[in-house]
Amino acid sequence: KDSIMLFSITEMKNILGLDRMVSQAELRLLIKSTAKASASEQRLELYQGVGDKARYLNSHTIINELKDKWISFDVTQTVKTWLQSS
């Protein structure tokens, strides 16, 4: 089953103000549950929405040992691009 999470950067823009200088940005996700017994792993993919298209950014393989642990994605360039485009 596919799940989609959407993020708005409006609040981030308001906090950063007009200068909008970002040196590093990270998306952290807490893995609350892992694959069902029938599957030993799942693939979590990260995409950047660009208009009506999606651009692949990165992925993580989610295994049972990651339950209740954090994973992270470096999204620095993506956030900089979003902030510059508005």
Model confidence pLDDT, tens digit, residues 23-59: 899 999 999 887 665 567 888 999 988 788 989 999 9
Tokens of residue 32, six digits: 């609350």
For every residue of 14-70, DSSP letters joined together read HHHTTT---S--EEEEE------TT-SEEEEEEEEEETTEEEEEEEEEEEGGGTT-E
Q: Do the domain assignments include residue 33?
A: yes
Which uninterrupted H or E stretch holds 71?
A: strand 70-74
Q: Report the C-alpha gap between 18 and 86 in whole angstroms.
A: 11
pLDDT of 10: 78
**Please, which pLDDT band fits residue 81 given cuts at 50, 70 and 90?**
confident
**Please, which pLDDT band fits residue 73 given cuts at 50, 70 and 90?**
very high
Range of the domain at 32: 10-84
Percent of the chain with pLDDT over 70: 92
Could you give the number of structural domains in the chain? 1
Tokens of residue 61, six digits: 């393989």
